[in-house]
Structure 1
Amino acid sequence: MAVGLFIASLADGDHGTIRSRLQDAAVSARLSRAMRSGAIEVFYQPIFRVGDGALESVEALVRWRRPDGHYVSPASFVPAAERTGVIGRIDRFVLTRAVSAARELADAGRPVSISVNFSAVTLARPALEQSVRHLLETHDLDPRFLQVEITESALVDDLTTVVRHVEALRTLGVRIAIDDFGAGHASLNYLQHFPADVVKLDRTFLTTAADDGRSRRLLEGVVDMCARLHMAVVAEGVESTDQLALIREANVSLVQGFLLGRPGPLQELRASLDLPDRRPSQHDPST
Structure 2
Amino acid sequence: MKQTTEIWRTAQQSGTEADQLRSLITEADATVIGIGAGMPAADGFMYTGPRFEKPFADFIEKYHFYDMLQGFLADFEDWSEYWAFESRFVLLNGIEQPEGKLYHHFQQFLDGQKVNYTIINTNGDNTLEKAHFDRDRVFNYQGQYSRLQCSKFCTPVTYRNDDLIRQMVRDQRNMRVPEDLIPRCPNCGAPLEVNKRTDAGMVEDAEWHRESTLYHQFIDKWAGKKVLFLEIGVGNTTPWIIRQPFWRMTSQNPNARYVMVNQKDYKIPEAVQNQSFRLTQDMNDIIGNL
TM-score, normalisation: structure 2: 0.32
Structure with greater contact order relative to length (CA < 8 Å, sep ≥ 6): 2
Larger Rg: 2
Structure with more strand by fraction: 1
TM-score, normalisation: structure 1: 0.32
